[in-house]
Structure 1
């Protein structure tokens, strides 16, 4: 008769590590509840599935590179004049990712654009999607470095492995021609293939100002806006309100 140690070792050999780790407790629960053989087999499989899914979510959350934890449940809609909780919750079926649509949050500093983007990103990870968060300045720098090394195509391919790319603070800093070229290459490669979330303090009519070239700004805007949902955020600056009331 096999011992529990040898059975655990066999499960580990099959890379069913969660079953191996939890087998004593699973056996005890099965004996207590007098489950059938089929029910016990299902218990084992379901335990392994749940644990693998949990570990995958933890890996993907770490890989997403969120700078901080921002939950949608913590977002204060009372000071928002142009976007509602219902509108945001409607995005959480993630049909926009499945349909390769983009989300664009436009508004002045401090109204919660980044909070919403990170909150949606966290929910997407929990739903099983691969997400990457990057600030626009960091993205531009990484693409510029990849171009200098002759690895721009490889870098864009790596970024495209994510289901959702969040580009935060686009337009806060001006871009030179090389940065514009690189950004266009990225956006063009992801167009109708992956979803992008953009936060920006500039309306589309002002994008030529920080791009310094309408000939590049127009095709970038065209690819971002086509198949997109645009949200104009208003209201009082959340950070300023905290400072004044703190």
Structure 2
């Protein structure tokens, strides 16, 4: 059955509006009587039947409600230095498939991409759509949040105060990811700060250590591309806590 993000949830019924309605009607060409699955970012999913197709909405009658165990127990966020469009889109799509809780686009000194104002807002809107489509494809019930583009000083306010911060850094030669994670709590959020194409300046790493209590870690002896580092680190943390089987 095709999956849709619920626009409005009622009593034994939900509605699909806007792009979700258009996708059902114009792209998939579903009809009254067809069965679908809806999710509303609360952890629940609903098996439903299409009851009515109207100009502005599709009405779906709920047949069954479930809470599938598909979300990662440990909430893991990526704070990713701005990279060229396709690279950020790749990280968002694959990070969603793997199980990230959200992504913060981060302005850094060596970032090639510069985003401000309405251009930044438009890009975040596009990234959120990519995350939403990847959530449907991977049968998730919570769509990862793509935060507004932020500077270093804005990081701390975006996530809970109990967040545990990690920063993979090529000049860190001794501290490994596994050695740090053994002292972390799987019940509290973890945020991975990933550099842009040009990597971090040393001052940025020192700032994260001082203001976020971030632990710098090594991802091994090889230099990874920004998008590779993001997905490798995310995979390693998820695997450490058993979320990848």
Between 1 and 2, higher relative CO (CA 8 Å, sep ≥ 6) is seen in 1
Greater strand share, 1 or 2? 2
| TM beyond 0.5 | no
Greater helix share, 1 or 2? 1
TM-score (norm 2): 0.31
